[in-house]
Amino acid sequence: MSNFQVDKNGFYGEFGGAYVPEILYKCVHDLQEAYLPIIESEEFKAEYHALLKDYVGRPSPLYYAKRLSEKYGCQLYLKREDLNHTGAHKINNTIGQILLAKKMGKTRIICETGAGQHGVATATVCALMDMKCEVFMGATDVERQHTNVERMKMLGAKVNPVRTGNMTLSDACSAAIRDWCCHPSDTFYIVGSTMGPHPYPDLVARMQSVISEEIKWQLEEKIGRDYPDYLIACIGGGSNAAGTIYHYMNDDRVKIVLAEAGGAGYETNHTAATMHKGTVGILHGAKMLVMQNNDGQIEEAFTISAGLDYPGVGPMHCNMYKQGRTQVLSVNDDEAIYGGYELTRMEGIIPAIESAHAIAALSKLQFKPTDVVVLTVSGRGDKDVETYLKNKQMAKEYGNF
Ligand SMILES: *Cc1c(COP(=O)(O)O)cnc(C)c1O
């Protein structure tokens, strides 16, 4: 049986590793040594699961979507990460990492954010744990995601607009890494997705693995078997996808379908479809598939969805894709808008525009009526209502709402 887990050197096949400046060697090494003993300790698990239950509101429901099941000719269940506190799966990870930071004696938290969802989830747990918090966010995103900036400030975080490069997520990551270089001893960097130097991809995947842990017993309860025929999730850096598939990676009965952001189409330059377009390169401390030109310059990602707007994708997913374990579909902006309206009108659930990419993948697959499909709704769409309304026309060739 293949093993898609990280090896002891921090690699997933040819991907991953820890490519960091010398000044961070000790910091990253300390984290590599510390994370497993801490997160596998009974004390950590008890605190983490108590907070997931009473603060985040887990387990998140596994909901049978009757009308969409009929439409797509399958048995469709939605894993409702949109119902978590702060509105997405990101909080599963920030709760875990802040507990780890505390146990490692760190006193200051930094993070990067794009749309602001990870910034809000981090500022939230910093308020909860009484920790200093600084968020790095591209100046363009600070403008575009004003409400989330206000939420972070209200929660007590300092938001640092980043004015280098395209002034978006990728630049925010670089700025956070630079800050970390200046404060290696007291600062813990809470990374928001399955990216960054080892051990972050593995750490984040483990923190999100609660999603598939719950899917297992919830399916058992509902259908009398603990695995689906299909798992579907959207993918930016890869954390909600990693959580969704974690306990099924080596289970060949389960097909895995991931939806990346095609933007205007992966054949255009206006795209964030990293697995379709990317080539092997190093970005933010790890070897992965990145969109880059022939000189190795990182190319800007384009998509309607700020949360998928990243020119790379986590190493675990690069490896699984290269090994043929996952099917990756490129879902364009117009298809995602339609998917978001479809879930809204047919099930009464307004999804995050990121999650709408996963919904749109349904129409690209052929199911048998008995197929059990679990699709993760990674977040709620409150933040995206304006985007949906403004771009409704874009999706009209797929039908009318
Ligand atoms: C951040 C975000 C994503 C993308 O990040 P992953 O690490 O790929 O999961 C997807 N959906 C929502 C709602 C998000 O906030």
pLDDT digits (tens, 9 = 90+) for 87-136: 999 999 999 999 999 999 999 999 999 989 999 999 999 999 999 999 99
Question: 355 C-alpha vs ligand 1 centroid, how far in Å?
Answer: 8
Question: 193 C-alpha vs ligand 1 centroid, how far in Å?
Answer: 8
pLDDT at 1: 47
pLDDT at 210: 98
Question: 18 C-alpha vs ligand 1 centroid, how far in Å?
Answer: 23
Is residue 147 within 8 Å of 287, Cβ to Cβ?
no
pLDDT at 353: 96
Spell out, as residue ranges, where the chain has pLDDT lower than 70.
1-2
Could you tell which of 354, 357, 359, 376 is best to mutate to test the pocket of ligand 1, judged by most ligand atoms within 8 Å of the CB? 354
pLDDT digits (tens, 9 = 90+) for 211-235: 999 999 999 999 999 999 999 999 9
C-beta 236 within 6 A of ligand 1: yes
C-beta 384 within 6 A of ligand 1: no
